[in-house]
Amino acid sequence: MTMPTDVRIRPATEADGAALAAIYAPHIETLHTSFEDVAPDAAAMAARIAALRPLLPWLVAESDGNVLGYAYASRHRERAGYQWSVDVAIYLRDDARRQGLGRRLYQALFPILRRQGYYNAYAGIALPNPASVALHESLGFAPVGVFQKVGYKHGAWHDVGWWQRALQPHADAPSPPRPLAQLSAAERGLD
């Protein structure tokens, strides 16, 4: 597939649940890129979007009403000292890979996270996954470590590498990040 020129990046809604579930399912059912063992259905994916949307962005890339991929941020860890850090992830339809769409999704996601007040983005990548590693490193992520044989999937143990990227210069006394719902439409930049 040649990437359409009319790709639009927009906030995900619960109505995108079925499309996102279909994109995510192969990562669970046939690949080792997610360590979940049961693919969420449309309702479960819609519930995930609804639960996080007030706090953190979920973005979709679409063309002619067809969702091609999505990116989102989630809490890095629960303890208060980690509140300025997020985990990020991208999932694309098979026919939308290697077209620059992952880059576009992250380039839309990172400014929103900065405006919310986040300082660090982390990506966990089940290895081997050279395409994901190349994408993340091309966007300024640096490797920070590997959890060896941390996940068992499809009859094999898999390593997970972690990559880190600063979203903005670190403040000496940062204010707590703002929930996404507190950003204006202009600050979100996509509405």
- For the chain, domains (ranges, CATH) are 8-177 (3.40.630.30)
> Helix %, strand %, coil % for the chain, to 5?
35, 30, 35
pLDDT in tens, 51-105: 998 999 999 999 999 999 999 999 999 999 999 999 999 999 988 888 899 999 9
Residues 6 and 99 sit within 8 Å (Cβ to Cβ) = no
What does the pLDDT average to over 112-121?
Answer: 97
What does the pLDDT average to over 10-15?
Answer: 96
Residue 2 in this model has a pLDDT that exceeds 60? no
Residue 140 in this model has a pLDDT that exceeds 90? yes
pLDDT in tens, 175-184: 999 999 999 8
Ordered DSSP codes for 15-66: GGHHHHHHHHHHHHHT-SS---SS---HHHHHHHHHHHTTTS-EEEEEETTE
Say how many C-beta atoms besides its own lie within 10 A of residue 138's C-beta: 11
Look at residue 1 in the predicted model and tell me its pLDDT: 47
